[in-house]
Amino acid sequence: MAQHFAKLALLWVAVHGVVSAVSFTIPSQAHTGSYSYAPVEPAPVGISFEFFAFPSYFTNVTATNQCLTNWKDLTGVWPPIRIGGTTQDRAVYDSATSAYVVYTVASATDAPASLTFGSSFFTLAATYGGSVVVGLNRGKDDIQNTIAAAKVAVGDMSNLLAIELGNEPEYYASAGQPIASGTWTPAVDAASQDNWDITVGTAIGKTAIIQAGNSNDSPPTWGAAELIATENATVKQYVKDYAHHNYPGGTVTSLMSHSSISSNLHVFDADVAAALGQGKQYVFGETNSVSGGGAATVSPTFGAALWTMNYVLRATYSNISRTYFHHGTLGACQYCFWGRYSMGAPYYGAYAATALMANAAYLTALDDGTTNYAAYVSFDSAGAPLRALLYNSDYYGGSGTRSSQSFVLSGLTGSSVRAKRLTGDSAVARVDQGGIVTFGGQTFTDGTCTASGAETFETLAVSGGQATVSLSASEALLVYLR
């Protein structure tokens, strides 16, 4: 009989494609066991706004305020923002204009080839309740104009966290930027950054104010370690932190794969260590799924939402303090979390990650990043576990049987724990095209970003400190440990 039962069980496994459970043990206290623990900022998940588009996002896109408020409701603080991008190096400060930005484009979905901006740009940024990084122009090689702008930013913005001097300088030569008209190499750029850090920092009378680096090409050719090696103590006192950009690209399957995400982040390990070695933070100043505004077949999908969630958690675990997800031209932005009229699926992934890390002081990963299955635990400032997040990054493209993976969680207390599921029709579901994605049963409304539907928790029974839960392919689960 027992043998017969075992055969049946094997048959069931063969038919349903269920593989053995993955098991994780929740540490009872941060900084115990063989895990590595990263500090967590009050709001590690941020937004980057393309320079010229920032005033529109803040004055003419209803969802912006609510989408940011939703995260503030989770964490108690406004998400950090960064204003910058390619158009920061096309922008000239004009003290005479009362407009936020002035430019003309042939089509509404074009980014301007040149623009001017006035002091009201900074007054608008100053109204935001969270920290702001402002990216200013270095490409045009007009340091006096940049200093004039920086003085207004410093004077008007009590929420100013840092100033960038140039965006993705490795592309200056191909973009025909004046500063790169002679030889332009990582070393020449580093010398330029160092001089600008000192000159601008001195002019505005502020130390620890420059967000340095801001390259997109992978380290070590361009990056914090390479830059730090060129800096003396005078330069270093003006540097607030180091930033890099990252757009991993690929297909939905490769993008959302946990092992791919983990490998992608290891590219930055040496740079993160170099920044921390200077006692300064390392951030992703601008990042998203696919460069150039995103890819239509990849960036708006639920798979990209799962990438967003797992990527920012793995980045935080790698000691990357803040991750600013880029938002570009309105109406031409595949990876945007929201626009004027629609929500983007990736917002849900960023929301789930924010929910895991809300009010946390520490984060650990319970897996080594080599499989499709991930587990994270957040802890409060006393080191007590707050929540866990489980991720099944197996790809489900919407046809055929959706496989599932069993997760066993140990080290639990009490008789049950509650959980919220992040799920969607499939990894290719697009909420902007009618696909369904939910977190805890809720959706975010197009155009307004307000939560809709009943907040739904599932209950996992705990027996002997253990709970077992099944996650379908392309799903995540946030478990509330108290």
Ligand X SMILES: *[C@@H]1O[C@H](CO)[C@@H](O)[C@H](O)[C@H]1NC(C)=O
Q: Does 36 bind ligand X (CB under 6 A)?
A: yes
- Per DSSP, the three-state class of 302 is helix
- Answer for the pair 53, 328: CB distance below 8 angstroms, yes or no: yes
Strand partners of residue 392: 373, 475
Kindly determine how many residues on this chain lie close enough to bind ligand X according to the rule CB under 6 A. Answer: 12
Which residue's CB comes closest to ligand X? Answer: 194
Q: Does 316 bind ligand X (CB under 6 A)?
A: no
Q: Output the smallest distance, CB 245 to ligand X, in A.
A: 20
Q: Rounded to whole angstroms, how far apart are CA atoms 3 and 348?
A: 46
Nearest CA among 267, 268, 255, 201 for reference residue 233: 201
Query: Nearer to ligand X by C-beta: 159 or 371?
Result: 371
What are the distances in angstroms from CA 314 to CA 42, 118, 307, 361, 366? 16, 38, 10, 15, 11
Q: Does 193 bind ligand X (CB under 6 A)?
A: no
- Kind plus residue range of the DSSP H or E element containing 466: none
Listed ranges 2-10, 33-41, 172-180, 204-212: which one lies at the site for ligand X (CB under 6 A):
33-41
- Answer for the pair 50, 101: CB distance below 8 angstroms, yes or no: no
Among 60, 263, 381, 456, binds ligand X (CB under 6 A): 60
Q: Does 277 bind ligand X (CB under 6 A)?
A: no
Q: Does 274 bind ligand X (CB under 6 A)?
A: no
First to last CA, the chain: 42
Q: Output the smallest distance, CB 31 to ligand X, in A.
A: 8
Residue 303: alpha-carbon gap to chain centroid: 15
Q: Does 39 bind ligand X (CB under 6 A)?
A: yes
Among 29, 181, 195, 416, binds ligand X (CB under 6 A): 195
Query: Nearer to ligand X by C-beta: 234 or 433?
Result: 234
Nearest CA among 140, 169, 135, 139 for reference residue 150: 135
Query: Nearer to ligand X by C-beta: 243 or 437?
Result: 243
Among 67, 227, 235, 360, binds ligand X (CB under 6 A): 235
Q: Rounded to whole angstroms, how far apart are CA atoms 77 and 83?
A: 18
Among 29, 207, 234, 456, binds ligand X (CB under 6 A): 234
Q: Output the smallest distance, CB 270 to ligand X, in A.
A: 11
Strand partners of residue 373: 392
Q: Which residues bind ligand X (CB under 6 A)?
A: 36, 38-39, 56, 60, 194-195, 232, 234-235, 318-319
